[in-house]
Structures are given as structure tokens and as C-alpha cells.
Structure 1
Amino acid sequence: MIPFNKPYITGLELAYIEDAVASGKLSGNGKYTRLAQSFFEEKYQIKKTLLTTSCTDALEMAAILIGIEHGDEVIIPSYTFVSTANAFVLRGAKIVFADSRTDHPGMDESTLKALITDKTKAIVPVHYAGVACDMDMIMELAEAHNLFVIEDAAQAIDSFYTSKSGKRYPLGSIGHLATFSFHETKNISSGEGGLLAINDEQFVSRAEIIWEKGTNRASFFRGEINKYGWVDIGSSFLPSEITAAFLWAQLEHVAEIQHKRVQIWNQYDSNFKGKLDSSGIKTPTIPSYAENNGHMYYLVARDEVQRDYILKRIKESGILAVFHYLSLHKSEFFHECHDGRELPFADLFSQRLIRLPFYMELTLAQVDHISQTLLDIVSEYEH
């Protein structure tokens, strides 16, 4: 069976973990935490970064930092993982869902203005599949209505956005805050893990306090104060040095990993382009302002019946492909809270999207095998 995902190991993870153990500093915010954070700040032009135990935790920190309170409204896409919504629901926010684009699962930026009310506090664009949302449009809306923008860049490490002025920005460096994931399904992994990116100076000091359980402990260890105490709300968002050591082994190889993943993506795309048109299956669209970071390769089936048939038959052929998110506005938890608006394109992607196997060790020969197997199944279905 060709799996859907297989975590990549560079070979240095255990050595760095052993070094962390030998250092006697295991609880976090040590050598490897600082190395990982500095990597993001320097390579991706981010003012301040903090490693977290998950992207979910980073989103929860962001919700605290922007002061989400009961009754505030936060606009997010319906087609996203539940963590994007949960972080704000936990602080009492009302979630207002945006539909997907017609050509891509990401949020339809053209619909956002109509969703803004006097209670709206933030927009949370999700860079689905590592493909940028139209950040010029979103940041202009945010500025006009005095809103915060939190980029959910869980899938978007080493992906970029080109602004209308022609400047190229790393995703996660544009919004007031941003979050990344290092879950085992992501390009760069520590098993579980995340990172909060802070691009607005006003959040830097408080973020570190929230990160350290509401204390000014980090300032104490830097010698900036002579004692530390409880000064704000917070939680145990800081990961261990063992997690950070594993992550550092991955970050050192980001160029190699990204090169291979983009190569896999391009091979899939070459294998399918122009060969699925008659079946009604669509290949991914990447807007002109966005770049591809090789996070995933997906197809969009003609309908749910065709999608389910392909998934069943390809699994029988020894290949594990999967569908992806179910629209959050129709979820068991939230559907009664939704305002009743139809979100047809979020539902379309929920019913039709197919994610193909994608991981660092996937060979191009395996990509060709998967591609041909799927093309044969589609032909069989059509006849």
C-alpha cells in the first residue's frame, strides 16, 4: 500500500534530541527553541516568533492577543480545519463563515466586505494547500475597518505572495499575526508543534508573557528583571526542547525538502494536465499572485459519486487517497449557529476534493504509478 502520508526523517533528529537531553534543559526555550525561532525571523522576515505545542495553540494565543471577547465576530473560511474556528470560539467569538473561491478552496476574498459588521474584530485567511489568499485585498479591508488579520499559514511554510506593487512576501509575514503547523502531515514536522508569528510590534511583549503561562519569566531569565510573577492570563503554550530539537533537524533541510516536494507536485500536475477534462475533473489552480510550496496535490471531481468511486477503487489498487474538510458551517457542532447563508463552493470542495499521496520519500516513479492508476480508474468509471 502506498500511504497517504509518511513523515520524513532527516537523520539528525535523534542526535539533536540527545544533545538537548545532555544539556539538562528539557522544558523549552533553550538552544533549539531559539535556533528554530531565529530561523523563521531571519528567513521569513518576521518580527518575532514563538514556538508552540501546536498550530492550534498559536491560534489560541492570537485570539488572546487581539482581545477577543464574547460577542466579537471573526471571519474565517468554512472550508478549513476546525482549529481555525475553535481558537476564537473558546474566547466567546461569533464565527462568520466565508465561502470558498470558485477556482480554489481558499476563502473568496470578494465576499468579505459584505460580512463585516460593527462587531467584526478579525479576518483569518487560511492559505489552503500553501496557496496565498489575496492579501492586498484582505489587508486593505482590514485597514479600512480597523480589523486585525491573522494568517492561518498551517500549510504554508516557504510559500510566497506577490503584492500589487510587485514585492514578494513570505506567507505569515503579512498579517498582524500568523500561525504555522509542524504536524506530521506538514512539509516540516516535529510530530506535533506550531509557531506564532508576530508582525505587529504592539503584540511582542505580551505574547511572550502569555506563552510563559501569564508570567514575565522569560524577561527574568534574560536578566531584565530581578524576579518574576503572574502578570497576565496565559497557558502552557511552550513546547519542550526535545520537540524543538526534532524541528531544528527538519528546518536545516528546508531547501532540500521543498525542492523535492515541488518536484513531486509538478510531476503530478504534468501527468494530469489536459487528461481529465472530458471526465469533468479539475486540477489545482494557483492565482498569479501566489506560489506553490508543494504541500499537497489535489483533484476536484465532477460530483460526490465520482469522488467516492475514485477513492474506493484507488484504495483497492493499493494507494491511499483521501477527501478533505467537511464544511464547518454544516458541522454537527455549529450548523444551528450558522446564519443560514448558502456557501455553495465550500460545500462543493467538501463533496468533491481528492488528496493524493504526498510525502518527501515518494518517488517520481510512484507518482507516475499513482497518476496512471487514477487515470485508468477515471476511464473505467466513464465507460
Structure 2
Amino acid sequence: MMNLFRQLTLQWRITILTAIVLILSSAALTAFSILNAQKTLVPLINESISISKDNTSGGVVIQGTDDEETENDFTPLRTAKRDFDLGSVLFCLVITVVGTGLVYFVSGKALRPVKNLSKQVADIDERDLSQRLTESLSHDEVGSLTKSFNQTLDRLEEAFNRQRRFSASAAHELKTPLATMKAGIQVLSIGETATIEEYKENVHTMETSVDRLTQVVNDLLILASSNEESEELNEDVYLDAIFETIFDELSPLYEHRGITYSIDCDTVSLYGTAPLLYRAFYNLIENAYKYNCEKGSIAIRGSETEKGVEIDIEDTGVGIPAEHLPFIFDVFYRVDGSRSRNTAGSGLGLSIVKTIIERHGGAIKVSSENEKGTKFVIQFPR
């Protein structure tokens, strides 16, 4: 019975429940009227007349207050009582039927916006998430639901667009080294008199392409495991030591550009996973080198605050245009495609930085000005 009730439309369920309430209310009111008449009217009649039985004739004698005797068999009184009861029941049924019909009609009117909303929602599919529901001017529940649904569509559309960009960028990043490897193999297979030097050159090219593919795959694995607890945060990581190691590794590569650096972290430490934190800071400092100006500088500052540990990484580089700042942590996002090709990279570096920092419970913010530099602020909880 309950399953059948649940299969009905909302309009019919409201109508049935209201009809039940009407029946119970009308029945109770009718019963109260009949009982009230029984208790009130009949005693009043009995007070105005006296009823006795004539032993001689076997009839009934009604005697009024003026002692006038009248024979009466009470038929009019019984008829009036029966008519009253029947009228009350019929009135109850009429009220129930009319009330149920009105409820069905009114609920249909009230639920019409919900039906229209359902129809609009049914017309939206995954191939086109740009459609939006028509928002009403009223501030009722339907209007609130419509607004919430449109906001959900905004988030879904953005997520789908990011997924499409991710798929296209991943395919491009994987396709380029594969194409290079295939071209080298074809050159060797066509050339009948290939020299040892040509073989060595192609092997070196293929090795470089394989390294690039491996790096992209490893980066994607880090991003894919952002919600997994594969590595426990189980050691103290001292900032000054980790930054010194990173600069010792990167400085020789950019020594010809005359970029200087400074580290001011005292004895500040973090509790986490050293390899992951090293990878995050390495990516940030490598970007600070890549996009810095000739004879520029990189400043690292670490301090303990009331909320935890704060790390500032600031450079004097080319900066990031304001319109790109909201997207720089997106997977495969590049501020400038031509600039990215000149400096190499897959567009995964900052995405990995954000993933690692968030895995440690932290947050990262960025501020930048064109031709003035970029500053990353990283905050870790205690």
C-alpha cells in the first residue's frame, strides 16, 4: 500500500492526505453535532411536555404544561431527528468531496512551477551544460531551488570544462614525445647506411622523450592520489635545510643569469613528508628561476605564527597577468604557451605544489604584477 502511495504524483498524494484530514474533521464535526442535538434538544422537549401511557387504549398520552392531554405517537419527532442526522451526514460527504476537489485544483496550481522546473531540468544533458533554468522573481522555495540548481550547473560546467582541458592537454603532452620517438625509429628504419653516431643521437633523443613521458606520468600519479593517504606525515622537516639543498641543485643551472637568493627561516620546521615537501618547494623555486629577470633575486622567508607556519617565496621576475592568476594551479594550465615552450615544462608543476600542500593541510596564495615579480604565500597549520 505504501509503495503504491509513493508511486503517485505529489499532487495526488497531497490531495489524498488532505481528503483524509477532511473526512476525519467532517466526521468528527458531524458526530459532535448529532450528539449535541441528542443531549440538548431532547431534554428541552421533555421539559415542555410529559409523556404517559394509557393503559385502557394502549396509546401514548402527551400532557403539556397547561395540563392539556393529547395522544401522540412521536412520529414527527422521530422524523425530524432522522432528517437532522441524515442531513448532517450528507453535508459531511458534500464538504469532503468539494474540499477534496478544491485541494486537487489548488495544489495543481501551486505545484505548476515545480512541474515546469522538472521539465526544464529534463531538457538538460551532459552534451550542453550551458543551459540555465528560468529563475522566478518570487522568493519562495521553488525560486530558491531554481537558483541553487543553476549554481550547481555552473560548478558542473566548470568541472566538465576543466576535465576536457585536462584530457586534451594530457593527450598533447603524451603525444609529443611519442611522435619524436616514432620519427627517430622511422629515420633509422629508412636509412640503410645509418652510422653509429646517428644511432647514438636517436637513442639520446628517445631517452629524453622517455624521461619526459615518465615525468608526466609520475606527476599525474601524484595528482591522482591527492586524496589517498599513501605516505604518512611522520617527520620533522627543517625549512632552512630543505631550501639550501634545492638552491644547491638549481643554482648551477642558472648561474649564467646572475640570479641571487636569500633564505631566512631560522629553525622553523614542518611535520610532514620530506620528499613531497621537497618536490613542492623545488617546483616553486624552479619557476622563480625560470621566469626571473637577468640578475634578479629570490627571497625565501619562513616564520611561525599563531595559526602555524608561514612561508613566503618571492621573486623579481616577469610576473603573471591578473587574468591568469585564478587558473595557474589548474592542471596543464600555461600562462603563455610560447613562453612555456621556451622554458620547458608540462604545466603540472603548480598543480602538484597545490596538491602536496593541501595534503599537508596547508593553503597557498599568489600575488603578482607584470614585470615586477611574483609572491607565493604558503600557510601550514600547527
Superposition TM-score, scaled by structure 2 size: 0.21
Greater Rg over alpha carbons, structure: 2
Superposition TM-score, scaled by structure 1 size: 0.21
Structure number with higher relative contact order (C-alpha < 8 Å, ≥ 6 residues apart): 1
